[in-house]
Every structure is written in structure tokens, then in C-alpha cells.
Structure 1
Amino acid sequence: MSRLASIIANPNGLVILQSSVSQTCLPILRQVLKPTRLPPPQTLLFSFLYPPSSLIGSLASDASLISVFDYTERIPGYDTWTDSRQDILNAIKAAPPGSLRVVIDSVDTLASDISSDSQTFKFIKTIFTLISSRPQPSVLVLHLLSCSLLSLLTQTALSPTLTHVIAHPPVLIEHLITAYSTPPPPAGPAEKFWSVFIPISERAPESQRLVYGPDGTGACTGAGDDAKEFIVELIIRGVGIEGGKRTTERMLEGWNGEAAESPEKLGSLKALLSRKKVDEKPLDPMQSVSFNLHLTASQEESRGRVPLPYAHQLSATCSTIYYEPDSADDIDDDDPDEDLDI
């Protein structure tokens, strides 16, 4: 089972699903909302952006599996708007005992309603404290677009452990392979790939240009019945066994339709990633010359018997400096400073 499939089947702690203008993470969110084990955990879905029916489908009618709170019509500035924070806290506290799965879509919309990143962060921290007091595995799943609140949510002040799932369009990997010759591991060196991938992927206009530009591939919404492919960047922060040191893993996986997939099996990347890895062994400098630079055994032996003009055979073990004066050297025993009154 891939790491992403394992996270979807058994999420725990804090999980952040990050979409962008060029690539949505909604297909993964839909899979997280589906019950994958028995008995299924109680799930609370708080929708601020997308209608709940577009996320859970037929599950909306089964209140025993999921409780839906639709706040999409609560828009600040309209008569229908009311602050939803207390309603959310009351719903979490009133949930049946046992493990709990709380999903908020989307946090950036919630922050826009509250009009304060700091207040939104304090509210999310209160929710996570309530969930952490529940039996494990309990999880808080936050779906959002890249926003200023993201830097606060990924800090250890909220949770020492974190699973951060970021969706990228496949054309971004194609661009790195063709323009920078940096395929993702194991097709290429991991250090080289991440040093190029991270700064480019963090520049949102770069991915938008590749998707929506004059030569772009077009939008990949991930909606509908047709299979959609995209790349998933996983950042998993945990606590190690030795001395409680935190460990962070970063890896790439693919997504095809409704399931995790290896990037090299995606239709848009298969041809590029199936190329044989270039042999990285250093080339022999004597391989392409038109004459032989190697010595035979007899030639090696003859060369070893040649006396070196600068080598002196000494019977003693002490070191000696040999100096032969040049004709231009002015060597005498007189003191050059004898005329000085010192």
C-alpha cells in the first residue's frame, strides 16, 4: 500500500489537504470522507466552500456515518450570515464518545468570514485540542488553498505531528524533466530534484502559466466521472523514537481517478519516467583516445627500475637538505648587517 493510500485509510492527528488554482485536492478529500474501516468513525463535515453533496454524494443521507453542517450560504454582509464558530464547537462536544473525524472545507473561506488569521488559528487550535482528547485514531482534516494562514497551521505550535498533502498538476513534473533534466526519484537523484522542485512549486504563477498559459494543458478540476491525474507532494512530520527528535519526510506520489498511483504509471508522465536512468558512473578518460595509454606488466617493471635523479639513498634515518648554489647566488660568510650599530 502506498503512503498516500495508508493516510486516506487511517488518517490521524492533523491532516492538511492543500489545493491550488491550477490543481485541486478534492478527489483526495472525497476519499477521506468515505468510510474505509468497520466500525466507521463518526465524521463531522463543516462545509464553507463546496456544497456537501459534491463531496460525499449519497453519504449525505446516512446520518449514522456522517453529520453534515452546510454553511455555504452564510456569507458576511448578507442577512443569512452568522458566526459559525460556536456552532462548530458545540457539535464537536456533542459528538458520541469514541474516535472522531472532523473535516473543514475550506479553512481559507472560514478565515475570510472571521476576517482574522490569528483568530482563525486560535479557533482551529481549540478544535484540535478537543479532538486530541478523544480516543485514537481521531483526526482533524483541513482543506484549503494556499493562503497566509497556512504558515501558522503547519507550525509545531498547533501539532508536533503533521500530514501535509499538496496537489500539483502533472505538467509541472513534465516541465522539470524537459527544461531542467531533473526527474523525480527514483528516476533521478533526490537531492537535485527537491532543490529544483521546491522553489518552483512554491511559486504559484509558475504552475498557473503551465496550465492556463498560451501553451498550457488546460484546467484539471478533478470533478466528474472521467479519470483525472495529478501529482501529490507528501510532507509527513512525526516524532522519532530516539530522544523524541522530530523527523520530516518528503515524497511524491501520483493520483489517478479515485486512488493513489505511482507517478511513473500516470498516462501523462509514463513516457518521460520510463526512460532508462543514465549511468552516473564517472567516464574513463582513456576510453575514447586513439592510442594506448596503458602499460604492460613488463613495462611497469622496467619503469620501476629507473633511478630517479632527485632521490638520495641514505643509510641514516635522519632528514637532510641538499642545496646546490646557483652561479648567481651571492654566498659568503660576512655579516650583511655588520655596518649597523645594534
Structure 2
Amino acid sequence: MSLLPYLDTPRPNQHLVLLKSSTSQSSLPLLRYVIAHKVSQKEPVEKLLFCFLHPPSSLVKNAAESNVQIHDYLDRIPGYSEPWSDPWPEVVKAVENVPSTRPVEVIIDSVDTLLADNGSVSDTYKFLRSIMSLISARSKPSRLILHLCMPSNILPFLLSTAFSPTITQFIAHPPVLFTHLATEYMTPPPPLSSDAKFWAIFIPISERGQDTENLVFGQGGEGSGGQDEIVVEVLVRGGSDVSGRRKAAERFLEGWDIEKARPLDLNRMNSLALIWRRRTVVEEAAPDPTQDASFNLHLTPLQQESRARVPLPYAHEGISLVQTAPGAILYDPDSADDIDDDDPDEDLDI
């Protein structure tokens, strides 16, 4: 399954997209792709980019030739730029100025910077909710694309169905996390492992950010520099999949080539080559445990026939077990057994 259909174009009833970065792996390559990608539609999508964390030059290669409206708020910092004014009304106005009949993508980098500047989770949520209402009210498919840096204090509120019943999430992971799972937990990514087994192990570990940071920045880690591939976890809630079928939720993994800005199958990623290198296994017959014995344990056909004619010394031989009562015990008394019909408790006055 490819992540491009979920990343490329706005889809009906799928208005919210979350791009999640962490200290160990950034999702900026995906964000750059979304900004630069030109939707092949008769009516172009109006893209509004609001920069609060990263400079526009790091997100857009050529701002003059791009079809993106860039709003740079990096120099508006509480306590450093005086007088400081809240940029939220300007953001809302910029979205309202786009004709309601045109599709629009509102891209905010990043939500956590907005929250840090304002200091109020409630106010930040209300602001994003107002933008979400403008997006969902449009007649053409539109999206609100939010970049978050994990851990995020506002993420639980954005994941609620009250904010948006449908969500598409792109979570960036370092490839070393998957080599670690394959080595230490013997659980490589699907289809080498079953979906149920892999996700049961992967989700708890990936949510503990410190464990992943230790793999990247700890002793023996390669660090975040020089990495040209990432693994993207795609989590879609609500809406329908690319084939049009209605689904409650789906989750899958796909690689991403940072330099070429395109998706990769996991088995084609250089960083996961050790996991996906398949060796041809020749199934050989199990060795005979008696082949090195100093005596012969096998019987000739004549010996097998003679053994079959030997009568078995059982008193009940030939009695069908089907004819006996259910649960009956067939017992052959031994010569030393003291069996009689006397009641052993006849001397007791009971």
C-alpha cells in the first residue's frame, strides 16, 4: 500500500493531516513534498503556508516560482518583538480570503510553536478549531496540515473526534528502530512477521521516545545526520481508503527516499537491507538418528511379519472397547494381589 494517495491530494471528508516529527526523526521531508507537490486537477489547490518554526527557505526551494502563499512569522516572538501581537486573526483572515469555491490547503509549521507563544492549550485549540471549521465548510476537498514535534501537549486534543472525525497521520521513524526490533525481538516488519505480532511490539516501543533516541544518539548510534531514508507510519482514521471502501481505521508502513522525494517499499530500503535480505533455504530431509549406531535397529520384512504373529499376553485381547460400558476399567489381577469379596469394614458398626 502506498502513502502517496494519502499525501498527494485532498480527499473528500478527510480534512485533517498530522505530520509528526521527533528528536530522533524529522518529518520535514514529507512536509516539503506536500508543499512542492502540484495537484493534477483542473482547478489548482490554493496553498497557504504559515511558518512559525522553520524558515520558508528550508521548506520551499523557490518561493518566487512556487504556487504557495508564504506567511513568515518567525520574527514575531513574545518577549523579543515589541509590541507583540497575536498572529491568529491574520491567519484566519488569510484563509477566509480564499474563495469558498476553491480547494485550499492550510499548512502550519508548527502547532507546538503556536502553543509555546500563546501558552494556552485552550486558546490554541479554539484557534485551530476555527480554521478547521473554515476548511470543512468548503465545497471542494480541502485540508488542514499541521506539523507537530513530539511529544506534544496539544496532540490529545487534536486526536479527539470532536476536533475532526477523520484524521490522516504520518509519523516519521528512524530505520534503526526496525533493525533493532528484528534483532532483539525477532520481529521484522510485515510481511516477514504477522501484522498482529509486529504492531503489538512496535507500537509500545515507538511511543516511548526515549528508547528510540537511545538507538539513534546513544552509544553506537549513527545520529540524525547523513540519513537519506526514513520509515513512515501511516495511520488513517475514518473516511475511505484509496479504493473507495469505507474503513474505520488502517495502519501501514512505507519507506521514504529523502533525496529523491519519493516513497520506497521497505524491502528496497538500503538501511533495512539486512532485514530484507532473503536467503534461499534448501529443505533437506531430517537426519536419521540411528545412522551412526553400532547395531542395526531396523527390521527386515520377514522379521516384521514374525513379530506381527506373536500373541499379546493380555487377558482382554480381542474384546472390543466399544462393547464395554463407557468409562470401564479393564484390570488383570497380579499373582500377588489379595482380592476377595469380603467387606474390609464389616467389623465397623455403621
Counterparts of 1:1-342 in structure 2 under 5 Å? 3-12=2-11, 13-34=15-36, 35-38=38-41, 39-58=43-62, 60-61=63-64, 65-78=67-80, 79-97=82-100, 98-146=102-150, 147-220=152-225, 228-239=228-239, 247-256=248-257, 257=259, 258-276=261-279, 287-290=287-290, 309=314, 310=316, 313=319, 319=325, 321=328, 327-328=337-338, 331-332=341-342, 339-340=349-350
One-letter code aligned to 2:221: G
Distance in 2 between the 1:239 and 1:302 partners?
A: 72
Asked whether the equivalents of residues 24 and 221 of structure 1 are also in contact (C-alpha less than 8 Å), the reply is no
Give the Å deviation of 1:336: 5.5
Distance in 2 between the 1:252 and 1:318 partners?
A: 61
Q: Structure 1 regions of 5+ residues with no counterpart?
A: 223-227
The verdict on how the C-alpha distance between 1:312 and 1:128 changes in structure 2, with shifts beyond 3 A counting, is farther
Distance in 1 between the 2:5 and 2:50 partners?
A: 24
One-letter code aligned to 1:248: A
One-letter code aligned to 1:90: K
* Partner-residue secondary structure (3-state), 1:215: coil
Give the Å deviation of 1:117: 2.1
Give the Å deviation of 1:32: 0.5
Distance in 2 between the 1:296 and 1:99 partners?
A: 85
The verdict on how the C-alpha distance between 1:27 and 1:316 changes in structure 2, with shifts beyond 3 A counting, is closer
The verdict on how the C-alpha distance between 1:167 and 1:307 changes in structure 2, with shifts beyond 3 A counting, is same
Q: Root-mean-square deviation (CA), in Å?
A: 3.6
**Normalised by the size of structure 1, how large is the TM-score?**
0.81
One-letter code aligned to 2:254: E
One-letter code aligned to 2:35: L
Asked whether the equivalents of residues 169 and 220 of structure 1 are also in contact (C-alpha less than 8 Å), the reply is no
Bigger CA drift: 303-312 or 108-117? 303-312
Distance in 1 between the 2:140 and 2:263 partners?
A: 24
Asked whether the equivalents of residues 161 and 238 of structure 1 are also in contact (C-alpha less than 8 Å), the reply is yes
One-letter code aligned to 1:160: P
Distance in 2 between the 1:305 and 1:165 partners?
A: 74
Aligned residues: 327
CA deviation map 1:261-311 (0-9, x unaligned): 1122222222431224879x9x99x75522699999996998699779456
The verdict on how the C-alpha distance between 1:311 and 1:221 changes in structure 2, with shifts beyond 3 A counting, is same
Give the Å deviation of 1:80: 4.8
**Normalised by the size of structure 2, how large is the TM-score?**
0.79
Distance in 2 between the 1:75 and 1:87 partners?
A: 15
CA deviation map 1:176-232 (0-9, x unaligned): 22333221112333333222222221121222222222311122377xxxxx21111
The verdict on how the C-alpha distance between 1:118 and 1:330 changes in structure 2, with shifts beyond 3 A counting, is farther
One-letter code aligned to 2:236: I
Give the Å deviation of 1:246: 5.4
